[in-house]
Amino acid sequence: MRHYRLTNQERAGLGFTDQFVIDGKDLTAVATTATINLATVTSAFIDDVVVVRLDEKVAGPAGTVKIEVGNDGDDNYHVSLSADLVAGAVGLLHGPATTTSGTTNRFGTIKSSSTILQAKFTSSSGNFSATTNTGQVSIFMRIVQADDLGYDQS
C-alpha cells in the first residue's frame, strides 16, 4: 500500500488531501476478508467525503470483491462499495456509503484519540492470496491534521 499526501495544487484542484493506492498483491490474507491499515491519525478532522477509484480490476479470489473504508475495524464504514472490483469498470468512481451504518456514522468529526483508518476487502467466495491477486484501487480522502493548520507557526 502506498500513501501520498497530495500537494497544495492537487488539494486545491481535487479537494482531497490524501491518496491511498492498494495493489492486489497487498491483499495477502488467506481468508475471504483482507484488511489494510491506511493511516493512523490523532488530532485530525476526517471529512465524510471519500472516493474509491478502480484503477485496475482485481483478480485472484473467486467471486466478487468489494471494499469498505472505515476506522479501527468497526462496522461504521464510510464507503461501502456495492460495485464488484473484479468485474467493475476501470476508472469508475464510487462515493460515500448509502447503507444505514454508513449514513449514521459519518467520519465528518474530529478524532482526538489515535484512530486507525482501514480498507476492508471482502471476497464473496475464495480466499485472497499474495501470489494470485492483481489489480489496483485508489482511495481519496480529506484528512485535516492539526499540523496542517499551522497554528503554532509564525
Side-chain half-sphere of 106: how many Cα atoms within 13 Å?
12
Per-residue pLDDT reduced to its tens digit, 109-141: 677 778 888 898 989 988 998 777 899 999 999
Give me the CATH number covering residue 137: 2.60.120
Residue 152 domain-assigned (yes or no): no
Residue 15 domain-assigned (yes or no): yes
pTM comes to: 0.86
Q: What is the pLDDT of residue 55?
A: 95
Q: What is the pLDDT of residue 97?
A: 59
- Angstrom distance (rounded) from CA 1 to CA 36: 8
Per-residue pLDDT band at 74 (split at 50, 70, 90): low
Query: What are 37's three cell numbers?
Result: 491499515
Q: Which amino acid is present at 79?
A: V
- Please give the angle made by the CA atoms of 146, 46 and 10, to the nearest 5 degrees: 80
CB atoms within 10 A of CB 10: 14
Domain that holds residue 16: 2-145
Residue 151 domain-assigned (yes or no): no
- What is the count of structural domains for the chain? 1
Residue 124 domain-assigned (yes or no): yes
Nearest to 85 by CA among 139, 49, 46, 43: 139
Residue 153 domain-assigned (yes or no): no
